Structure 1
């Protein structure tokens, strides 16, 4: 029989009395209860002034702690003082700058603290950073693992479902049946974004539209949305993308293949429009296309994907913009709700997909 709430809290009080301080993650494992249940007990005990908590560690109430603080009720408005949220992302530049910013705004607004670990897309570094954040007291994790296709391959990523704290995947997804598919996740619906670009170009009269995207965690979803829209709208197929080699191409070679593909698609394949991922590639490609006799937009209308710098091009470019900041904000709010003692502990897991927006520029 599992101990009831009074027994659990008595155990916590005794362990804190004997040891002085205990890490929350380690205590949950020692007591054989879920981290969420333990946090609910801890919050109640903190509110009664029986223990104190800071950065994932609970300890005895010190004599110097003011009685008014010890007995004060929990802050109103859904605040989460003392919680530490760990966030693992490839980088805090470019795409993920806004994702992290959105998460930080929500975390700090609710009185919690955000700590960030960077992977630089290095193999295995996502788990290393997750373990490091947990060892320093993170109560929950926002994870963007290094899954090349945006989702784990066979046998990859199961560790994300075995973590000792609530975890939300950010801009990553796992297929049904994979252990990580049961995690909360928040991501951009890149397939919808690509389909929206194709639809807009079709509305302008284009019947043969190409997709130019190097291999990234986003490209698979872009291609799925692009192909679905081409089929649904009855458009003519563009020339197939060049077959990939055995491994990733050097940056310069990948760029040259994209340029060659677009030139051939226009001059020989009848393509009149393209969705190019990303903005920086598009801005670099356009003058090179024009140098080879392909006029933009006369011969090739262009929509870019990401909308980071599309508006800064010589001729501002129409672009699809994922809701990056909102993704970070929604993921952080979802995780904080999971960690909150006042939140519904048995709420269903959520898979949220936010629709990118099309910004049309003349």
Structure 2
């Protein structure tokens, strides 16, 4: 079977970690690929912070450094000459949403004098256990785990192994099924239900009727946004104007994406929606562009809030967006794991009892921009939309 790029990256990282540093030509010979391929891999891994590049050579991050930044006051200090902690992180990708989560964890680890090593699952949950084993083999003493789950059943089908890990583990942006093994683990998550509630209340405050939800269903965040929408409407005593419009990637399924846009346009034309919440940013930007081609203008005919706030501010019409605290999720999780590894006892335990497990929910923010426009009584009526 042909080796995947992810598998080649793992081998490359293992070689560099074992040597401390290596030349590109040496790595190419060891991996059995061309120097061009290795240079391309090294550039990608360096951009993700997993390797350092210097004049034709690559090195393990921090190799050769004799000092570490001082640990913050709220984390136990290592003390002079103490052994460096190594924590492992498994993430489904290193771009878009999780780039900021990784950055937060990396900064917290560095501030505490620990080293973070990273592996990427590429949203293949069946490979998560193997990736985690690789982190342990590479010296990780504790793990930050964001499984590559995509389907609602994945926590049950592809999650039991996490509870059996032999080292302290913190779940990132993932929740176990209540009452099952993973629910007993430490976790740090964004409270997406609160984020959706912020968006709905903001649109209602502008005078709109209940906003329509346009969302994917292919990630834990997407599933949480859908659940959060139901929670928000129940909390506010509202009923949805229409069923949720299922969105898909425009690249992966152009026809499905067009169906979603047409369904939203039809709702606006029929006067069934003057506002919408769209997950995610990329879909929201493309939906706004396509609606404009169909004669529906944002915010004149439709007020729109995006969910994620990765690129929402860069749209032609800057999009109001819910911003999950991604950086803080990574930071809090790394600090919690380091606290576990350094054995901080529970308060009042006499120094013998482990601190209680924690489920930490961090609240998203709403960043208001141009796409919400004016209150609905000044919006263009459906009759004014080009057909």
Fold in common (TM above 0.5): yes
Structure 1 contact 238–269 (Cα < 8 Å) conserved = no
Structure 1 contact 207–236 (Cα < 8 Å) conserved = no
CA drift at 1:123: 3.6
Q: Distance in 1 between matches of 2:271 and 2:362?
A: 34
Q: Distance in 1 between matches of 2:357 and 2:315?
A: 41
Query: Normalising by the residue count of structure 2, what TM-score does the alignment of the two structures yield?
Result: 0.69
Matched, 1:189 2:191: yes
CA drift at 1:153: 4.2
Which of residues 102, 119, 130 is equivalent to 1:100? 102
From the CA coordinates, give the structure whose radius of gyration is larger.
1
Q: Distance in 1 between matches of 2:318 and 2:236?
A: 27
Q: Distance in 2 between matches of 1:298 and 1:151?
A: 40
Aligned pairs for 1:1-362 within 5 A: 78-80=76-78, 81-149=83-151, 152-215=154-217, 216-241=219-244, 250-268=252-270, 270-344=272-346, 346-362=354-370
CA drift at 1:343: 4.6
**2:220 match: secondary structure:** coil
Q: Unpaired runs of 5+ in structure 1?
A: 1-74
Alignment RMSD (CA, Å): 2.3
Change (3 A) 1:113 1:244: closer
Higher mean Cα deviation, 231-240 or 171-180?
231-240
Higher mean Cα deviation, 90-99 or 252-261?
252-261
Which whole-Å deviations, capped at 9, do the CAs of 1:332-355 have from their partners, x for residues lacking one?
000000000455451110000100
Q: Distance in 2 between matches of 1:76 and 1:298?
A: 49
CA drift at 1:208: 3.0
Equivalent pairs counted in the alignment come to: 286
Q: Distance in 1 between matches of 2:158 and 2:169?
A: 17
Change (3 A) 1:241 1:234: same
Structure 1 contact 188–323 (Cα < 8 Å) conserved = yes
Structure 1 contact 150–171 (Cα < 8 Å) conserved = no
Change (3 A) 1:348 1:152: farther
